[in-house]
Amino acid sequence: MSIARVLVASVLYVASACAVAADARERGFISLGMTEGEVFQRVGKPDYEAFVANVKGQPEEKTWTYFPASRDPQTLTIITLRAGVVAKLDRKIVR
């Protein structure tokens, strides 16, 4: 019985951590210099990812796009990551 309780508690903990990480209001608190892991933990998986530059021997550059969500309505967030660090941040109002 105790193993089942530990398993259920573990599943609930992971589910709640995922729900907190995906809170769209956190998008407004992303700042330059944050690592890719910090951004992923804070706002979750991007809605769209595109590689800007991916040349061997040079830092990788990509953009993560987050579309408007119920907790961040009318705001499109585009994060440019260079070598795994936020290099540019655009938040645009879309209607």
pTM score above 0.75: no
- Please name each of the domains of the chain with its CATH number: 2-93 (3.30.1450.10)
Is residue 48 exposed (0-12), middle (13-18) or buried (19+ Cβ within 10 Å)?
exposed
Task: Place 7 in a pLDDT band, splitting at 50, 70 and 90.
Answer: low
- Is residue 23 pLDDT above 70, yes or no? yes
Under DSSP, the state recorded for 47 is S
Distance CA 62, CA 56 (A): 14
Alpha-helical runs (H) found in 22-81: 36-43
What CA–CA distances, in Å, run from 91 to 14, 61, 68, 78, 88? 29, 18, 10, 6, 10
- Please count the other Cβ atoms lying within 10 Å of the Cβ belonging to residue 45: 11
Q: pLDDT of 46-94, one tens digit each?
A: 999 999 998 888 999 999 999 998 888 899 999 999 999 999 999 999 8
Q: Does position 21 have pLDDT exceeding 90, yes or no?
A: no
